[in-house]
Structure 1
């Protein structure tokens, strides 16, 4: 083999490195031995070996969400590929650019009864915008280029399956960078946005619903809200965009949001959606006129009764709308109504966060977390009761939050925390998980040990699937299977090489959290949590 002649696997790694990939998450399997061999022979891309393929896909999804870059996971054929699906579903639902690379049966076995063979293009079809089986070594660069361009350009999942014999064949081609893209500025003017401004001027009870897509315009949105007399609500993805002291910021909406904001929101006559495609069912106005700003028109087809869609960047639209409303006379009665809802919830939130007792009330746990974590920490949330209590009671500052937004899968928190620490080792990383969600990925405690990841996992241990229990009660259905048989999480963590801590009372929460956060290495805090019915369960 000549000096410039590489195997498909080696060429693939060189190309991925040029795309900015520095980690590949996966589980070793014989159909990917070519990739494993190539990874072992270089040090530019690190292979993160996890215990279950779903964890690999969760970590790739979390990386893509946190960085905006390409997250990559790999698995063997058949069952390995199937195990990736849950994490790929998370990336698909939250529009995270993820590339999954799976092994496949040897070329002459494709389509036969070969063990573990399955048509993997059909397997990933619901989730992957592009999926190809690499049939010729010399197509390696072209296929990878198409996958990466698709993932990064459209923020979607892509997939390549590669027969195990082809992975080790020599391949022609040279890695090349993705083309630089010069994005033209939108030509928004007062005249082009006149229809939107006219609708907004008719408002007597305006509201703004902001999400993660409004990150760069939070200050501009506050100016608009002040001029327009609009209350600002945020989705979970938008939590932390605005300083809580801002007089018109009512915090979140939906389960876990400001409970008094729901009635306020239902009274709105005009709603501006900025940087979000989420519409909290059951919490929304029925007759309001809806204006939605988004870069992609397909976002307007979701279950939101949008009257006017503005295709473009939020940061280009908001200043012009603000300028158009300079002569607007806001309703001071409506502003007073908004501030009353804000103040009422602030007082109740503070009271909830100081609830005494043991097992500990969830609000008290979340208050201890927000009192002790670093202002710029990364929080990784699992899905379940812990999510809604965090949304309800955590007073976010500049922390980043990783969560499973639309897919809402259990088991996301620990993998996301591990990925975050690998990507930004200088940051404090805290996972807030339920006992049910943690047990879905429990084996990967050892992954944090293996890579010496200094993360803190806080377990809300109420020995139940509390969110499902609450919903069963609301539906007036009998329950079975919601009680959990839990291990001793502290002993289990210690057996995995972690430090395990457990507060003996609610008064010890802050001191135990501080000890955990100041420990150099993975630490688990097991908190006996009261089985509290979440007040907004629907």
Structure 2
């Protein structure tokens, strides 16, 4: 029977539903009103109305990072599309599958001096692995399939611009599911990993560096570490990957990591990188043989002098490596060396997190969060001074941590927490933010209120762009513009329908957090925070 003609906007939603999309984040604008009308006529996909398009893209990026599914944001042409770019940059840099759908000028105005017109394909080129402008209503399903397959297959941003007049045009095109893909399991034969095994068996001082790409193989990494006698370090992307109590975990690398880790990492003779693509300057072992496991070939030797790259799923590779190393005789002296560095940092970390006083030291805030959050909580970190203190002093015990990894943008924390709560409403969700980053998305406190999301914002309120101040001080330069003009954040939060708590001393901290986490409404904890110089600022 012939398919009944349907409007492009309706087909977009039907197709997104088949892709598993649950919500679209965006701001209503003139050129997407056809899409907005179609959303209002159905109940399968929710429209999340935010205060700024950058927040919509942040939310889509955070949802995609959290779930691995395609996430969607939308905006009108011109300024709406350009406002998406910061959030799309975050998705691009952290390889999150995001689809941006933007309105465009009517077809007969494309390329003219029409108000707000810009060539959106050129605009999106730095971030989008696929960007197309819909030229005919009959092509909508094909374009959406291409976009979804690109985003999901490459873990990338895709983009479709749609002329305003096409949303209401009808076509007999029909939505269809993505083709089923059978991914190989245990595709690595033992002999194919012979070179990797040979290198690993030569190790006397092995280390494992795990990142965001290793989130699904934490148990395999722990088992391999024990067999191989290797210490484990994690990038910020791997925060929470391994429980902090695991004895072979030395902690993190880079700013906010274990400050004693470089000395032992530099002594490694073989490094196995799993789902990580970077290590900071000053950590590189000069004489180490490096094996890198990553699903994406383009990540192999991205910035590391890799001897052997293994393109594949870590979940397929690690079991094979474990089998071949089952009789390996680990160097107990090396493992003792790793444990000594771990224990030294644990003692220092405990001391840092126990500091008392008013204003509250940032390490003390990290420790209070560690002691009060649920084991399965989701923490959405903003970028800035709070990021390095949380990386340094917060010891996860099963929590999920969302953050802006490579893009490192201010303003990520609150939108990410909103998206996380919408996606996993049963979880405790906390946005950990600084006063600089929060003010970039402050209006979206009202978004949480609008959708009844009982998230908690914990604010490191030190009245400055502290990370930048530290770097200026470390460079012995003069500063200007780092002092912030802050409002009374508790009053602002309360005006937005939140319950507010003000903390001026560390003695009040745990009690305020526990009350906030138990409240059945959005809660805001404003912590008067010390302007502490981060000890490893360069």
> Under TM normalisation by the shorter chain, which class is it?
over 0.9
Structure 2 distance, partners of 1:101, 1:111, is 19
C-alpha offsets along residues 275-321 of structure 1, whole Å, 9 cap, x if unaligned? 22232232221221110011221111411110100122212222222
Partner of 1:192: 192
Spell out the pairing of 1:432-451 with structure 2 (5 A cutoff): 432-451=432-451
Partner of 1:370: 370
Structure 1 distance, partners of 2:475, 2:286, is 24
C-alpha displacement of 1:190: 3.2
Partner of 1:313: 313
Partner of 1:75: 75
C-alpha displacement of 1:326: 3.3
C-alpha offsets along residues 342-385 of structure 1, whole Å, 9 cap, x if unaligned? 11111111111110110000010011111111110110000011
SS in 1 for 2:500: strand
Partner of 1:92: 92
C-alpha displacement of 1:536: 1.4
Structure 2 distance, partners of 1:64, 1:463, is 32
CA shift in 2, pair 1:291/1:18, >3 Å: same
Structure 1 distance, partners of 2:19, 2:506, is 48
SS in 1 for 2:503: coil
C-alpha offsets along residues 396-435 of structure 1, whole Å, 9 cap, x if unaligned? 0111111001101000000000000111111110000000
Farther-moved stretch of structure 1 (328-337 vs 104-113): 328-337
The answer to whether the Cα contact below 8 Å between 1:140 and 1:171 also exists between their aligned partners in 2 is no
Partner of 1:465: 465
The answer to whether the Cα contact below 8 Å between 1:186 and 1:312 also exists between their aligned partners in 2 is no
Farther-moved stretch of structure 1 (217-226 vs 90-99): 217-226
Spell out the pairing of 1:120-159 with structure 2 (5 A cutoff): 120-159=120-159
Structure 2 distance, partners of 1:525, 1:476, is 34
Structure 1 distance, partners of 2:449, 2:134, is 35
CA shift in 2, pair 1:256/1:166, >3 Å: same
Structure 2 distance, partners of 1:326, 1:5, is 62
Structure 1 distance, partners of 2:106, 2:433, is 41
SS in 2 for 1:530: coil
The answer to whether the Cα contact below 8 Å between 2:367 and 2:393 also exists between their aligned partners in 1 is yes
C-alpha displacement of 1:330: 2.4
Structure 2 distance, partners of 1:504, 1:463, is 14
Partner of 1:117: 117
Partner of 1:354: 354
Partner of 1:289: 289
Structure 2 distance, partners of 1:453, 1:484, is 28
C-alpha displacement of 1:518: 0.8
SS in 2 for 1:279: coil
Unmatched 5+ stretches in structure 2: none
Structure 1 distance, partners of 2:326, 2:449, is 57
Structure 1 distance, partners of 2:244, 2:462, is 30
- TM-score normalised by length of structure 2: 0.98
Structure 1 distance, partners of 2:220, 2:42, is 47
Is 1:418 aligned to 2:431, yes or no?
no
C-alpha offsets along residues 116-149 of structure 1, whole Å, 9 cap, x if unaligned? 0000000000000110000101111111111111
Structure 2 distance, partners of 1:287, 1:465, is 39
Structure 1 distance, partners of 2:17, 2:385, is 39
The answer to whether the Cα contact below 8 Å between 2:359 and 2:504 also exists between their aligned partners in 1 is no
Is 1:342 aligned to 2:356, yes or no?
no
The answer to whether the Cα contact below 8 Å between 1:8 and 1:166 also exists between their aligned partners in 2 is yes
Structure 1 distance, partners of 2:495, 2:401, is 29
Structure 1 distance, partners of 2:19, 2:192, is 38
SS in 1 for 2:427: coil
Unmatched 5+ stretches in structure 1: none
The answer to whether the Cα contact below 8 Å between 1:137 and 1:172 also exists between their aligned partners in 2 is no
Structure 2 distance, partners of 1:382, 1:107, is 40
SS in 1 for 2:477: coil
CA shift in 2, pair 1:18/1:187, >3 Å: closer
C-alpha offsets along residues 493-517 of structure 1, whole Å, 9 cap, x if unaligned? 0111111111232111000001111
Structure 2 distance, partners of 1:286, 1:468, is 31
Farther-moved stretch of structure 1 (200-209 vs 429-438): 200-209
Partner of 2:483: 483
Farther-moved stretch of structure 1 (217-226 vs 6-15): 217-226
C-alpha offsets along residues 58-104 of structure 1, whole Å, 9 cap, x if unaligned? 00101111111111000000000000000000000011000000000
Aligned residues: 537
C-alpha offsets along residues 460-508 of structure 1, whole Å, 9 cap, x if unaligned? 0000111111111122211111111101100010111111111232111
Structure 2 distance, partners of 1:245, 1:74, is 42
Structure 1's consecutive aligned runs of 4 or more residues displaced over 4 angstroms after TM superposition are none
C-alpha displacement of 1:199: 1.4
SS in 2 for 1:173: coil
C-alpha displacement of 1:393: 1.0
Is 1:522 aligned to 2:522, yes or no?
yes
SS in 2 for 1:56: helix
C-alpha displacement of 1:186: 4.7
C-alpha displacement of 1:227: 2.3
SS in 1 for 2:225: helix
Is 1:221 aligned to 2:214, yes or no?
no
SS in 2 for 1:258: coil
- TM-score normalised by length of structure 1: 0.98
The answer to whether the Cα contact below 8 Å between 2:454 and 2:522 also exists between their aligned partners in 1 is yes
Provide the aligned C-alpha RMSD in A: 1.3
Partner of 2:494: 494
Partner of 1:408: 408
Partner of 2:330: 330
Is 1:266 aligned to 2:266, yes or no?
yes
